[in-house]
């Protein structure tokens, strides 16, 4: 547990930094205009769905780095990072091709008329800026896989610290702070800031990678050249993980678009609750990443018994974080909704709480199950059991959860609380399946890196 915690703590700062950037965007946009706030969540999630597939594929090189690190092969770590960077380069044209698809989805989804142009602008800027995300995922794997987490945290915090003032300047303009030449750009300003502040950590990490002693000792031919057999091996294990990401986040995007068909206070509260949920649950992702890294290292060192203990230790730590947070959600929901109530908002905080309180209580309830879901899925991904994860997500989300949501909305005229209740049941079921898979231990015979390296 101590080993997982030492990895998780700096990762909590990194994941929280990324999430605070998105929270800041939406908090300022809620003060700028209601249509801009309503547009930010679905447009941002749609972009994340498209770009995230390729980012997840390149990021899986970090799992190879962790396993080579466990096998004490520095050259393998360098070669894996290089292949992740090349995968990021090769996927850039596909990201550009997907940009028009997202615009078509936004225009045909039935959003309120004033929301559509805001969503289009926000989505398009994020998609173009998202070209660097697979590269950033690959280079961060060098640091997280080898547990050089201090540098990774510094880079993420730098981007976050820049985000807050720049967000304010580019959304509201610089006139109030004596910089009249900076125009107010609203949701476009939020998107430009997000792209820039995400690019800064990537440049910092790339510079530290090139300047590392391992890079200098082995040379650029090892650290940057393509190695197609290794790249195929990364794709072999990483593609199911990337498709799992696409299916998982894609189903969640469909859910958000279904919720986006509501109007007025229901849509406003739904978007606010999703933003609160994302901010609070980001540290859980850190426990998942830490469990994945440590389990992968032990699997690479051919110690599956220690890898198994790592999974359960990560779960206990996740529960230690989630239980107090669930109590706070249930006891003080108005504290979390207050930042989204602008002075000119057509709804009062009391009206928002009528719907928002039970929604946040459901978030508190499903949080305990989602802890199992996140940590166990991350552990399975770290040891290479990615095909099982993909199968579960495909069956659970697209054959059970999303059809149930659509039937409830379309044919039973269910409200947003019923839709959230169905989501809660789905999370409980999925978490139970992953925990059972980890307990059975069939993943212990999976070999991600080459057997001779383990020897």
Confidence of residue 132 (pLDDT cuts 50, 70, 90): confident
Q: How far, in Å, CA of 135 to CA of 203, rounded?
A: 10
The model's pLDDT over 333-356, given as tens digits with 9 standing for 90+, comes to: 888 888 777 666 667 778 778 888
- Quote helix, strand, coil % in the chain, to nearest 5: 85, 0, 15
Minimum mean pLDDT range among 276-285, 299-308, 355-364: 276-285
Mean pLDDT for the chain overall? 83
Global confidence as pTM: 0.72
d(CA 233, CA 230): 5
CA distance 411 to 406: 8
**Domain extents in the chain:** 2-454
H or E stretch at 108: helix 92-108
Give alpha helix (H) positions in 219-348.
Answer: 220-224, 228-259, 264-300, 304-331, 333-337
Long-range contacts of 335-338 (CB under 8 A, 24+ apart): 336/276, 336/360, 337/269, 337/272, 337/276
Quote the pLDDT of residue 15: 67
Q: What is the mean pLDDT of residues 354-374?
A: 84
Statement: residue 455 has pLDDT above 50: no
* 31, 340 contact by CB (below 8 A): no
Q: How many CB atoms lie within 10 A of CB 253?
A: 20
Higher pLDDT pick, 249 / 137:
137
> Tens of pLDDT along 17-27?
666 777 777 77
Q: Is residue 434 very low, low, confident or very high in pLDDT (cuts 50, 70, 90)? A: very high
For the segment 391-417, the average pLDDT, to the nearest whole number, is 86
């Amino acid at each position: 547990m101590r080993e997982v915690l030492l990895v998780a703590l700096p990762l909590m700062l990194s994941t929280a930094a990324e999430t605070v950037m998105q929270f800041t965007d939406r908090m300022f946009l809620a003060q700028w205009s209601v249509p801009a706030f309503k547009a930010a969540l679905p447009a941002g999630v749609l972009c994340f769905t498209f770009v995230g597939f390729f980012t997840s594929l390149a990021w899986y090189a970090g799992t190879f780095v962790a396993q080579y690190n466990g096998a004490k092969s520095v050259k393998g770590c360098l070669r894996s990072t290089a292949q992740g960077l090349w995968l990021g380069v090769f996927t850039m044209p596909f990201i550009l091709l997907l940009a028009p698809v997202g615009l078509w989805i936004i225009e045909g989804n039935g959003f309120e008329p004033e929301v559509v142009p805001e969503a289009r602008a926000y989505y398009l800027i994020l998609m173009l800026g998202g070209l660097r995300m697979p590269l950033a995922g690959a280079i961060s794997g060098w640091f997280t896989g080898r547990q050089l987490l201090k540098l990774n945290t510094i880079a993420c915090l730098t981007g976050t610290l820049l985000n807050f003032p720049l967000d304010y300047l580019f959304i509201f303009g610089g006139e109030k702070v004596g910089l009249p030449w900076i125009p107010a750009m609203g949701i476009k300003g939020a998107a430009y800031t997000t792209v820039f502040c995400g690019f800064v950590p990537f440049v910092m990490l790339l510079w530290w990678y090139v300047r590392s002693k391992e890079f200098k000792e082995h040379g650029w031919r090892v650290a940057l050249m393509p190695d197609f057999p290794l790249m195929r091996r990364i794709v072999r294990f990483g593609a199911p993980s990337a498709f799992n990401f696409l299916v998982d986040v894609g189903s969640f995007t469909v859910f958000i678009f279904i919720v986006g068909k509501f109007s007025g206070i229901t849509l406003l509260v739904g978007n606010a609750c999703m933003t609160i949920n994302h901010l609070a649950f980001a540290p859980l992702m850190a426990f998942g990443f830490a469990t994945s890294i440590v389990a992968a290292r032990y699997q690479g060192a051919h110690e599956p018994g220690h890898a198994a203990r790592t999974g359960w230790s990560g779960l206990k730590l996740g529960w230690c974080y989630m239980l107090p947070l669930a109590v706070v959600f249930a006891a003080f929901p108005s504290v979390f909704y207050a930042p989204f109530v602008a002075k000119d908002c057509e709804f009062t905080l009391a009206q928002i709480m009528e719907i928002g309180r039970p929604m946040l209580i459901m978030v508190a309830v499903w949080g305990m199950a989602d802890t199992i879901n996140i940590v166990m899925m991350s552990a399975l991904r770290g040891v290479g059991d990615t095909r099982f994860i993909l199968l579960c997500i495909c069956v659970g989300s697209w054959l059970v959860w999303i059809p149930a949501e659509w039937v409830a909305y379309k044919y039973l005229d269910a409200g947003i609380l019923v839709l959230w209740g169905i989501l809660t049941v789905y999370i409980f079921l999925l978490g139970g399946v992953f925990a059972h898979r980890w307990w059975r231990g069939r993943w212990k015979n999976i070999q991600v890196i080459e057997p001779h390296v383990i020897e």
